[in-house]
Copies of this chain bind each other. A is one copy, B any other.
Amino acid sequence: MSKQEITLTPVATGGCCAPISDAALGEAGAVEGAAVFKALADPIRLRLFSMITSAGDEICVCDLTPQFEVSGPTISHHLKVLRAAGLVDCERRGTWVYYWPVPEKLRWVAGLLAVPESAPSR
């Protein structure tokens, strides 16, 4: 048999299970997603975020601040972090700033937590 006639058949290597799914998050997506989760990884920010999403439409910062025992500037800082992560947006009208959630971003983030229908429950 000449060298030219040798054929190599690919074999499964290095694992005992199914290969990593193409559906798994890539490196760039993971960096973006981790940044969003970091914004939510603080109890005050998560409560602020929850108040904003459950307000129905939008909510005035004047209704958010009194719910916490921290200062107004601290609340402003946390709101800025949520906004920088793309989770909420806001608009100043006169004295007050109004906040609302960004549904597209929330859907994307929630999608990262989705378990495929095919996954068996234990």
Contact = CB atoms under 8 A, between A and B. Distances in A.
Copies in the complex: 2
Contact of A63 (B20, B41, B100, B119): B20
Nearest to A57: B120
How extensive is the interface on chain A, given as a class? 35 or more
Given A55-B17, A56-B116, A100-B122, A25 B47 contact: yes
B119 A53 contact: yes
A10 interface: no
A14 to B, nearest CB: 6
Interface residues of A, dominant DSSP: mixed
Contacts of A30: 43-44, 46-47, 50
A81 interface: no
Contact of A60 (B17, B56, B57, B89): B17
